[in-house]
Amino acid sequence: MGTSSLFDVSFSSGIKTITMKDTRSRNALSLNMQKELYKYITADWDDKKLRAIVLQAEGPAFSSGHNLKEFNFDTNDKSLLEEVFKMATKLMLSITECPVPVIACVNGIAAAAGCQLAAQCDIVVASDKSLFSTPGVSVGVFCSSPGIPISRTIPRKLATYMLTTGLPITATEAKSAGLVSVVCPEDQLKGQVEKICAAITAKSRYVVTKGKRFYYRQIDMTMKEAYKIGELEMIERISESEGQEGLKSFIEKRKPNWKHSV
């Protein structure tokens, strides 16, 4: 699928695996790194063979966050900063908009925008040696944008603790707090990710895509509003050929023959 100095990207059995490998910078999300990652995440959205994306990293850091050297400047020209954060928003929202689940596989420290990157993914699997932190405040850059997905997945008292002190939490604490979907010993990490990927690839891509979209659409609504659109969503999906095939396969006690589209 292509590699660069910053990434290895492979594609096998429906899973695109994106490996950050800029270990020298602890996988800092420089503008170039962000652009490449955005490119790898958003490529192949129309390829029905793409069923999930796994985002992982080489080295002791999942990602250390933005490249602080890009923030340090003496002129009044904010154009680089603007480009960096416009790209960051674009990258983060692309994960949510991606038609297939994006799974962060964290085996080390996920800091600042690196923690944001993990928190933005749909599913987070982490080894129990991993750490999560938002230490930007220590260098004068409060992790306000990392706080956006983090504060939408962990409780307020822990989010404000992490953001104002910069102190890390462990993977076990992150699991308890909701930032991590599955925590396990390092030697089981690959197996856990494979189990999740196998579960997802056994489904209809079309059904997963529609389901993911509905999930994020309803999450900011009141419960009543969500139920109103939920009824229609269920009826439409069930009536379509992919829903009907799934139901028939169940009743006929056979494996479904997904078309992965309708």
Positions 2 through 61 that interact with its own copies (CB under 8 A): none
Part in contact with its own copies (CB under 8 A); list of ranges 21-29, 31-39, 53-61, 77-85:
77-85
Tell me how far, at minimum, the Cβ of 84 lies from its own copies, in Å.
Answer: 8
User: Is 186:129 a contact under the CB 8 Å cutoff?
Assistant: yes
Handedness of CA 117, 119, 122, 126 (dihedral sign): positive
Q: Which is nearer to its own copies, 6 or 159 (CB)?
A: 159
Q: Is 235 left (phi over 0), alpha (psi -120 to 50) or beta?
A: alpha
- Give the x/- contact pattern for its own copies in 179-208, rule: CB under 8 A: xxxx------------xx--xx-xxx--xx
- Going across the sheet that includes 52-57, the strands are 7-12, 15-20, 52-57, 102-106, 123-127, 182-184
Work out whether strand 15-20 and strand 7-12 pair parallel, antiparallel, or are unpaired: antiparallel
Tell me how far, at minimum, the Cβ of 42 lies from its own copies, in Å.
Answer: 17
* Residue 28 CB coordination number (10 Å): 23
Strand partners, 170: 131
* Residue 238 CB coordination number (10 Å): 12
Q: Which residue in 15, 53, 55, 177 binds its own copies (CB under 8 A)? A: 177
Q: Which is nearer to its own copies, 7 or 63 (CB)?
A: 63
DSSP assignment letter at 167: -
Q: Which is nearer to its own copies, 32 or 218 (CB)?
A: 218
Contact call for residue 171 and its own copies (CB under 8 A): no
Q: Which of 193, 204, 46 is nearest to 123 (CA)?
A: 193
Strand partners, 154: none
Part in contact with its own copies (CB under 8 A); list of ranges 26-34, 36-44, 56-64, 82-90:
82-90
Q: Which of 116, 117, 108 is nearest to 41 (CA)?
A: 117
Contact call for residue 156 and its own copies (CB under 8 A): yes
User: Is 79:99 a contact under the CB 8 Å cutoff?
Assistant: no
Region 210-249 residues binding its own copies, contact defined as CB under 8 A: 210-212, 214-215, 218-220, 222-224, 226-228, 230-231, 233-235, 237-239, 242-249
Tell me how far, at minimum, the Cβ of 96 lies from its own copies, in Å.
Answer: 7
Part in contact with its own copies (CB under 8 A); list of ranges 8-16, 21-29, 55-63, 89-97:
89-97
Q: Token pair 């008292």 is at which residue?
A: 157
Tokens of residue 157, six digits: 């008292």
Region 105-144 residues binding its own copies, contact defined as CB under 8 A: 119, 121-124, 137-144
Q: Which residue in 161, 170, 188, 190 binds its own copies (CB under 8 A)? A: 161
Part in contact with its own copies (CB under 8 A); list of ranges 10-18, 28-36, 37-45, 86-94:
86-94
Q: Which is nearer to its own copies, 49 or 69 (CB)?
A: 69
